[in-house]
Structure 1
Amino acid sequence: MTVYKAVLCGCGAMAKGWLRALATHPDVESQIQIVGLVDLDAAAAKALADEFGLGDASIGTDLGAMLDATGADLVFDVVVPAARRAVVSLALSRGCHVLSEKPMAASMEEARELLALAEEAGRIHAIVQNRRYISGVRRMRRFIESGAIGALTAVHCDFFLAPHFGGFREAMQNVLLLDMAIHTFDAARFVSGKVPQSVYCVESNPAGSWYAHGAAANAIFTLSDDAVFTYRGSWCAEGERTSWESAWRLVGSKGMLTWDGEETFTAAIAGDTPGLLRGTTPVEVPHGEHDEQTHGHASVLLDFLRAIETGEGPETVSRDNIRSLSMVFGAIESARTGLPVDLTA
């Protein structure tokens, strides 16, 4: 079994989720050796190494120098979005495979540039869309694929939470769309199996918001096969909150499926009772055989390693993830202009 040498670039709070996945999943831990931690703040890198028992890893502030010193095979990119292009392009130029935190890039232009660089380097660039590997999301996808509720015609998602992060998020522009909504957008694309066609979005920063900009958004996406995806979200919604995974309603030609983002699934198909509103028949939303093997970050890492070994693209490879990114930037552009935005390009 190949053991890959990895450098972690960006040692803030999000990096801890990656390192926990490494530490708690034996199949991941056995294949990856963290040989270096890089951050503009060397003390932050040292503190992270101490917290996770990475005393043998080198500490530095210069990614290029670290790659030269360690001969790393992989770079885990956990930097802020504004620094992503520089980190990923440098890592690819040094022959490393790269797994990046979302969003894939700070603009569509930068995203296209990174796609070209990965292709030129012959290396894999993938994105940590860990919500795809939540068992509930996989369960919805399997249920839709089964045809139990017929052809999927609409996906509706509600996301209402009120986290007080502090730090960079509270100073961001378009904070909900750019930092969080991509999880739901990507999951909706995955669950539906549809391709985004256009978006119309209204963005706001509600009274009482502790964010600088864009803490709430309402978006309507047209999808392939005449399907629709709607998103209603707020990051400053106190009170009756949803799950972090959103509350879902999937409408099919024969019935509906709902998921509360936690443990509760309900589904029903149209009955045979005549009348203005026909009755419905509840149907089971079965668990998958391997649901217990769905582990968020660890599953993304395992798929990334599998792709390196086999040469087959991982599920969250950047050339696929750019479609989810286009949904984010399309929504931002629509909110700015007040007009629908075409996503087919």
Structure 2
Amino acid sequence: MTHKIVVAGCGGMANTWVDYALQRDNAEIVGLVDIYEESAKAMAAKKGLNVPTFANLSDALSATGATLVFDVTIPASHKQIAITAMQAGCNVFGEKPMAESYADAQEIVAVSQATGKRYSVMQNRRYLKQIRSFRDMVASGAIGTPGSIHADFFLGAHFGGFRDVMDNPLIIDMAIHTFDQARFITGTDPVSVYCHEFNPPGSWYKGNASAICIYEMSDGSVFSYRGSWCADGLNTSWESDWRVTGSKGGARWDGASMPYGEVVDPEKAEGFIRELARIEGAESWNGREGHWGCLDEMFAALEEGRPAETDCLDNIKSVAMVFGAVESARTGQKIML
């Protein structure tokens, strides 16, 4: 199977996607699209690609016979790109978030189901050896039955561009990663959310760049999220700082190092504070990390005729966490998901 790829969006993130495609033996980039066609021409020159460039996706698909679209456009364009591509008979691999609204994401899922075409979403932060180890530690039962999961995310990210003028830059553009990671780590789905969103003093964002969220998950556990994208100093990693509390102990991951845990030592006597034994996360995952690991999974799933781990049919649940949080912050009410 040879994948004939049109790349939609030739900004910064497109470099990673194009580099990935160029290293695959069974992938061929057949066209580049950008509303500013000069950007597409610049990308072609930079990567040494002798392919046509376009300002319109429909024209590109008609002219090239593409079978797969890489959507590396801004979030506001994702719905149009995904639906246009799938209705033209192409599968789609796209950057997060799936869409700018939950209704748009639902429409994308409906088109995927109606056309039988796959739309897989870039959730690169699932593809790290540390988070795979952390998930395995929680799933193994070593800390007992999880009762709560907590994530702290604090960074001072000075992007400039579209993020600075978004209404909900943290929740929509970044927290989708952390929310998706919470589902991945626990193997659960969201049931409800209460969110307080705000923009603290000194923020360089127009919209709310900080938030506190409380989710009830499908197993009865609680996921709490504290985050800010305008926190200069004492920064966490981009992967957040995690803790899972269970009936036998707890597990911790700082987002950068290997995870570890502490569990009640059954050999020790009971006490006011019980004695604990340390456990270490195992390095058992050998896949590639980041974008390339996620793209490996997307291509493997397509070639095996199955939904990818981050297929839109699953990712819609992470999207629901995002837009449920936005709605809760807007109304001041707990939102059922």
Q: Which residue of 1 aligns with 2:17?
A: 18
Q: Which residue of 2 aligns with 1:273?
A: 269
> 1:166 Cα deviation (Å)?
0.7
Q: How does 1:98-177 map to 2 (within 5 A)?
A: 98-177=92-171
SS of residue matched to 2:148: strand
> 1:97 Cα deviation (Å)?
0.4
Q: Which residue of 1 aligns with 2:47?
A: 52
> 1:256 Cα deviation (Å)?
0.8
Match of 2:322 among 314, 328, 331: 328
Q: Which residue of 2 aligns with 1:286?
A: 282
* Counterpart residue identity of residue 240, structure 1: L
> 1:264 Cα deviation (Å)?
4.2
Query: Percent identity, aligned pairs only?
Result: 46
The alignment status of 1:87 with 2:81, answered yes or no, reads yes
Aligned-partner Cα distance in 1 for 2:118–2:52: 24
Q: Is the Cα contact below 8 Å between 1:22 and 1:298 reproduced in 2?
A: no
> 1:16 Cα deviation (Å)?
1.9
Question: How many residues are aligned here?
Answer: 335
SS of residue matched to 2:252: strand
Task: Note the aligned Cα RMSD (angstroms).
Answer: 1.2
Aligned-partner Cα distance in 2 for 1:233–1:13: 25
Deviates more, 1:304-313 or 1:36-45: 304-313
Aligned-partner Cα distance in 2 for 1:80–1:167: 11
Aligned-partner Cα distance in 1 for 2:258–2:6: 39
The runs of at least 4 consecutive aligned structure 1 residues that moved more than 6 Å come to none
Aligned-partner Cα distance in 1 for 2:226–2:141: 26
> 1:30 Cα deviation (Å)?
1.4
Q: Deviations over 1:286-317 (max 9, x none)?
A: 111x33x2322122222222222221111000
Aligned-partner Cα distance in 1 for 2:239–2:225: 12
Aligned-partner Cα distance in 2 for 1:65–1:41: 14
Aligned-partner Cα distance in 1 for 2:105–2:77: 13
* Counterpart residue identity of residue 41, structure 1: Y
Aligned-partner Cα distance in 2 for 1:52–1:257: 44
The alignment status of 1:5 with 2:4, answered yes or no, reads yes
Q: How does 1:303-314 map to 2 (within 5 A)?
A: 303-314=297-308
Aligned-partner Cα distance in 2 for 1:92–1:220: 35
Q: Is the Cα contact below 8 Å between 2:130 and 2:258 reproduced in 1?
A: no
Q: Is the Cα contact below 8 Å between 1:108 and 1:329 reproduced in 2?
A: yes
Q: Normalization by structure 2: what TM-score?
A: 0.97
> 1:154 Cα deviation (Å)?
1.0
Q: Is the Cα contact below 8 Å between 2:183 and 2:189 reproduced in 1?
A: yes
* Counterpart residue identity of residue 85, structure 2: A
Aligned-partner Cα distance in 2 for 1:245–1:284: 19
Q: Which residue of 1 aligns with 2:56?
A: 62
Unaligned runs of 5+ in 1: none
Q: Which residue of 2 aligns with 1:247?
A: 241
Aligned-partner Cα distance in 2 for 1:111–1:208: 33
Match of 1:42 among 11, 25, 37: 37
Aligned-partner Cα distance in 2 for 1:192–1:275: 30
Match of 1:77 among 68, 71, 79: 71
Q: Deviations over 1:225-258 (max 9, x none)?
A: 2101010000010111000000111111111111
Aligned-partner Cα distance in 2 for 1:122–1:300: 21
SS of residue matched to 2:219: helix
The alignment status of 1:187 with 2:167, answered yes or no, reads no
* Counterpart residue identity of residue 43, structure 2: L
* Counterpart residue identity of residue 328, structure 2: S
